[in-house]
Amino acid sequence: MVQRYRFEPLFLLEGARRVRDAVRMPVGYLGGVLSLEHADSLIAEGFAFVQLGRATIRDPDFVNNLASGKVSVSDCDHCNRCVAAMSADGVECVSP
């Protein structure tokens, strides 16, 4: 029932850059952020903030774990089953 899509980290980056460069207001980035390295590079190139989605569904303490050095990258497998489960069970990671 849940389709599989090839996952690409930072999959909306090119479009987000075009938007950021076309407007005169702060723009945040979302789409495939998996690590502190990703977040730091996005802030360094001018995004006002970084939104995390599935990484924080997989691990609600993901940001704190990045900051403490406990992890360096999300272990989300990008299966999208969390999306399928949202309407029935709420937002939670269903991967083992």
Which residues 6+ apart lie within 8 Å of 21 measured at CB? none
Question: For 4-16, what is each residue's pLDDT tens digit?
Answer: 778 899 999 999 9
Q: What is the pLDDT of residue 2?
A: 59
Taking the C-alpha atoms of residue 28 and residue 11, their distance in angstroms, rounded to an integer, is: 14
Is the pLDDT at 3 greater than 70? The verdict is: no
Tell me the β-bridge partners of 24. Answer: none
Are 29 and 12 a contacting pair, CB within 8 Å? yes
> Per-residue pLDDT averaged across 59-70, rounded?
95
Domain boundaries defined on the chain: 13-89
Indicate the pTM of the whole model.
0.84
Cα 15 to the center of its chain, rounded Å:
15
